[in-house]
């Protein structure tokens, strides 16, 4: 069983939540120690009481009482979209209203059952995300029940984007490969223009990647990037190689295929391996 005294030595917990399961990872921020997978629990998150039942099983041998816990939500559970602030916006309410209207337009329903958070900005387009209200309430109840400190909840792509923000080079797009899906942050200079996700077809090679990026640039209405920087389990063949002239491709995590499951990698997103 985990003991509260470990907190003073820089330990924290990461909980990954996907539609098909949970994973619990221990992070030690001191001395560059590698994260440790503690447990995984398979489930159907959309079944009745699935989260509560799954957490009970996950914590059976790893009680989190007294620990700080950060949560990473798989991107299939949340919504991500870009919001253009209204002209002349001066109040937070203007930005919140624009985000809610854009949510309803894109996803075909009012956001009453979702919680919206964003990098609010009245001067340029900003990224917004929404998580299901019932899922967040379930996590708050779990924190109270198991007496852990819930310090952060964020989408996987946002966790990765924030982690690698300082590494992004001028003229580059950022991407994440996880669970057979490629998610791209398309930039125009320093401005984030869109986030787009697409399934990766079987056997997708570098030629597929170059064609896909070119199509996404056309859809977003920006130029093709000079470089693509990818995190996650990206195929090694996607990295730059001699004779490739369309754009460079950098793989930010050379050891992403290190035997960790998708659930475990979800939980440790944004943490050095």
Shared domain for 55 and 93, answered yes or no, is no
Q: How far apart are CA 204 and CA 181, in angstroms?
A: 11
Shared domain for 106 and 184, answered yes or no, is no
Is 59 a member of any domain?
A: yes
Q: How far apart are CA 131 and CA 120, in angstroms?
A: 17
Shared domain for 199 and 241, answered yes or no, is yes
C-alpha pair distances (Å), 273 with each of 22, 33, 168: 19, 9, 19
Q: Which residue has the higher pLDDT, 195 or 31?
A: 195
Is 260 a member of any domain?
A: no
- Per-residue pLDDT band for 217 (boundaries 50, 70, 90) equals very high
Enter the tokens of residue 123: 């001067």
CB within 8 Å of 256: residues ≥ 6 apart: 177, 231, 232, 233, 234, 265, 273
Indicate whether 5 pLDDT > 90. no
- pLDDT tens per residue across span 130-173: 999 999 999 999 999 999 999 999 999 999 999 998 888 888 99
Shared domain for 174 and 231, answered yes or no, is yes
Q: What is the DSSP string of 191-230?
A: EEEEEEEEEPPTT--HHHHHHHHHHHHHHHTSPPPSEEEE
Shared domain for 139 and 12, answered yes or no, is yes
SS3 label, residue 38? strand
Is 114 a member of any domain?
A: yes
Q: How far apart are CA 17 and CA 36, in angstroms?
A: 17
Shared domain for 55 and 105, answered yes or no, is no
Q: How far apart are CA 214 and CA 203, in angstroms?
A: 19
Q: Which residue has the higher pLDDT, 170 or 19?
A: 19
Is 160 a member of any domain?
A: no
Indicate whether 2 pLDDT > 70. no
Instruction: Give the number of domains in the chain.
Output: 3
Nearest Cα residue to 178 out of 193, 196, 161, 200? 200
Is 198 a member of any domain?
A: yes
- pLDDT tens per residue across span 229-263: 999 988 888 987 655 557 889 898 866 556 789 99
Q: How far apart are CA 228 and CA 215, in angstroms?
A: 14
Mean pLDDT of 204-214: 92
Q: Which residues pair with 178 in a beta bridge?
A: 181
Shared domain for 57 and 112, answered yes or no, is no
Nearest Cα residue to 128 out of 160, 96, 168, 161? 96
Please report, for the domain that includes residue 232, its CATH number: 3.30.420.40
Q: State residue 88's pLDDT score.
A: 85
Q: How far apart are CA 192 and CA 157, in angstroms?
A: 14
Q: What domain range is 86 assigned to? A: 77-130
Phi, psi dihedral angles at 99 (to 5 degrees):
-65, -40
Shared domain for 69 and 106, answered yes or no, is no
Q: State residue 253's pLDDT score.
A: 82
Shared domain for 91 and 169, answered yes or no, is no
């Amino acid at each position: 069983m985990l003991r509260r005294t470990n907190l003073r030595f820089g330990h924290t917990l990461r909980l990954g939540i996907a539609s098909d399961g949970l994973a619990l990872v221990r992070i030690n921020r001191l001395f560059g120690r590698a994260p440790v997978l503690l447990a995984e629990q398979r489930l159907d998150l959309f079944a009745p009481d699935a989260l509560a039942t799954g957490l009970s099983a996950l914590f059976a041998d790893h009680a989190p009482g007294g620990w700080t816990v950060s949560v990473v939500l798989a991107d299939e559970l949340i919504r991500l979209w870009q919001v253009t602030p209204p002209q002349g916006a001066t109040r937070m309410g203007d930005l919140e209203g624009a985000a809610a209207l854009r949510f309803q337009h894109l996803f075909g329903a009012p956001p009453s059952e979702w919680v919206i958070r964003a990098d609010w900005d009245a001067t340029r387009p900003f990224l917004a995300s929404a998580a299901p209200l019932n899922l967040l309430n379930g996590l708050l109840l779990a924190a109270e029940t198991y007496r852990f400190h819930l310090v952060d909840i964020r989408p996987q792509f946002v966790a990765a984007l924030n982690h690698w923000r300082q590494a992004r080079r001028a003229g580059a797009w950022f991407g994440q490969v996880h669970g057979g899906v490629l998610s791209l942050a398309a930039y125009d200079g320093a401005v984030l223009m869109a986030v787009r996700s697409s399934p990766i077809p079987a056997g997708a090679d570098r030629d597929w990647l170059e064609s896909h990026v070119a199509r996404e640039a056309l859809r977003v209405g920006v130029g093709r990037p000079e470089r693509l920087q990818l995190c996650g389990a990206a195929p090694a063949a996607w990295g730059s190689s001699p004779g490739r002239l369309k754009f460079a491709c950098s793989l930010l995590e050379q050891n992403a295929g290190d035997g960790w499951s998708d659930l475990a990698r979800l939980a440790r997103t944004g943490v050095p391996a």
